[in-house]
Amino acid sequence: MDEAFDSDLLRGSLDLMVLGVLADGPKYGYSLQQSLRTASYGRIDPKAGTLYPLLHRLEDDGLIRAKWDTSTGRKRKWYELTAAGKKRLKHQAHEWYAYADILRRLLEPVVAPPQPA
Amino acid sequence: MDEAFDSDLLRGSLDLMVLGVLADGPKYGYSLQQSLRTASYGRIDPKAGTLYPLLHRLEDDGLIRAKWDTSTGRKRKWYELTAAGKKRLKHQAHEWYAYADILRRLLEPVVAPPQPA
DNA sequence: TCCCATGCATCGCCACGCCATATATGACGG
DNA sequence: CCGTCATATATGGCGTGGCGATGCATGGGA
């Protein structure tokens, strides 16, 4: 069974993934963690010590908006994308596509990709 | 004109790119830097303070082999892949493909990729 | 002759993912 | 009823690695 990816792969793309998941609708931290894990077949599993500071950063940057839900005993902090967040998501996604394409082009001749066509 | 990618994108994939370029044949540090720059349309341009320590790390790990060329006035340190380096290249490349695929799958529904088919 | 590209190298800074730790509640089993 | 575990958020210190700054030496072209 494959295990978690090298942590360094997350650098520079974890923000993007979080924004991407939130584009699907509001989530709270813990559920976001689970969404990432299931969406990646368990191979991307950001730790709490990573995720919460990250969410605070995104909030400080105005990319997401937080709202506490204290209606139940379990206090949950729900996050949703702001307009700026949606804009950033699009931009970062295109940056990512461009980056991945360059890398793919560089690797293709030396290491064949899994399923070519 | 697009500028350089976020530095953090390089974390976790710059090693891979260097190995990928070296799979094409031996290179010395400075020429490697240029290869990466041209292969990326100028958008990936690792600094000397990044590249040389990186090469030393790869050498320490036995993934590349160095040989000084002092035949000319310009001293150049040529690097080539070792067997272990070729193996690592393949492994990391597949890791990268898997990672990129997960991210692509996550982004596709929310941000359309440049050229779909 | 002077400047810039070439060519290699090291050092301190900083951002961020990780682990450890803290705290509190709900659920389930014995 | 009580312990244990999943849930839920948060902070602090550590380690890693790309970057800018700096240093130094040579070759080529203006």
Q: Is the pLDDT at B115 greater than 80, yes or no? A: no
What is the Cα–Cα distance from A47 to A12, expressed in whole angstroms?
A: 16
The parts of chain A modelled with pLDDT lower than 50 are none
Q: How confident is the model at residue B116 (pLDDT cuts 50, 70, 90)?
A: low
Who among B23, B93, B107 is closest to A93 (CB)?
A: B107
Domains identified in chain B, total number: 1
Q: Phi/psi at A7 (nearest 5 deg)?
A: -55, -35
Q: Does residue A113 form part of some domain?
A: no
pLDDT digits 0-9 by tens, B78-89? 999 999 999 999
Q: Does residue B112 form part of some domain?
A: no
What is the Cα–Cα distance from B4 to B101, expressed in whole angstroms?
A: 23
For residues B84-103, average pLDDT: 97
Window B:17-36, CB contacts with A under 8 Å: 17, 20-21, 23-24
Nearest to B83 by CA among B63, B58, B102, B66: B63
Measured CA to C1', the nucleotide nearest B14 is D18
Closest residue in B to A87 (Cα–Cα): B111
Instruction: Give the structural domain span for A81.
Output: 7-107
The pLDDT value recorded for residue B97 is 97
Q: Does residue B116 form part of some domain?
A: no
Nearest to A20 by CA among A60, A79, A76: A79
pLDDT digits 0-9 by tens, B38-77? 999 999 999 999 999 999 999 999 999 999 998 887 899 9
